[in-house]
Amino acid sequence: MFKRSVLLVMLVCFLAITGKAQDGSVNNTSVNVSAVVPESFELTSWIRWAKPGQDPYEFGFSGDASAIDFGPLEWNGDLGIWQPTKYFTVFLLARSSGRSYQIKQTSTGLFSGTSNLNNSFTVTPDYVSDDEFSAGQPQGSIPAGDSYGTAGLAASGEKVVYDSGTGQSRIVRAYYGLSTGEPGKPGEAISGDYPAGTYSGSVSFTLTLK
């Protein structure tokens, strides 16, 4: 009996509410909608190794890396030089909430005691339209007003990797390799005269607003 009364009250309420909503007597109301997009300034970076001539994401010829680790070099008897078996790509992604920014790189170079490979250690900035923010979302062509830097020796002072006048987020690449002395490209080959040893150093990327 009690259950039946409760159900009856609920039914009456339901009909009263729906009836009022349908008879046109309800005034239209507006609801304020607002959202705040916080300003952010963020740098993301990751590294891939790849075999010479291969894309950094070429299946079977590339992989993730935690450093630019050339490992033991191989002797090329034909050219009479030491050369690495892979090159490295540092990917950089800046987010600046639309404010113009610049990414620069510096390097200590590669040292082993008093010897160094600084005239062979090269960097080549690049922009690839097909690089994806997320799966299936390519970044598209470089925005007008943005530019990327030129190839050169990594340990030759501060080098611009990417300059964004538009402040748009973009993925930029910096390829690192050891020169084979190819004409028209920066750097000199590592000849057999170089002292053996462990060469190490660091590369540093700097993101600031303009």
Query: Can you tell me the distance from the alpha carbon of 131 to that of 129, in angstroms, rounded to the nearest whole number?
Result: 6
Q: Is residue 176 within the footprint of other proteins (CB under 8 A)?
A: yes
Q: Is residue 84 within the footprint of other proteins (CB under 8 A)?
A: yes
Q: Total residues at the site for other proteins (CB under 8 A)? A: 59
Query: Can you tell me the distance from the alpha carbon of 25 to that of 170, in angstroms, rounded to the nearest whole number?
Result: 53
Among residue numbers 29 through 68, which ones bind other proteins (CB under 8 A)? 39-48, 57, 59, 64-68
C-alpha dihedral (145, 146, 152, 158), degrees to nearest 10: 100
C-alpha dihedral (61, 63, 67, 72), degrees to nearest 10: -30
Q: Is residue 204 within the footprint of other proteins (CB under 8 A)?
A: yes
Amino acid at 147: S
Among residue numbers 96 through 125, which ones bind other proteins (CB under 8 A)? 96, 99-100, 102, 107, 110, 117, 121
- Indicate which single residue of 49, 87, 148, 199 sits in contact with other proteins (rule: CB under 8 A): 199
CB of 42 to other proteins, least distance (A): 4
- What sign has the CA pseudo-torsion 70, 75, 76, 80? positive
Q: Is residue 160 within the footprint of other proteins (CB under 8 A)?
A: yes
Query: Can you tell me the distance from the alpha carbon of 64 to that of 136, in angstroms, rounded to the nearest whole number?
Result: 20
Residues that bind other proteins (CB under 8 A): 39-48, 57, 59, 64-73, 84, 90-92, 95-96, 99-100, 102, 107, 110, 117, 121, 131-132, 134-136, 158, 160, 163, 165, 176, 178, 198-210
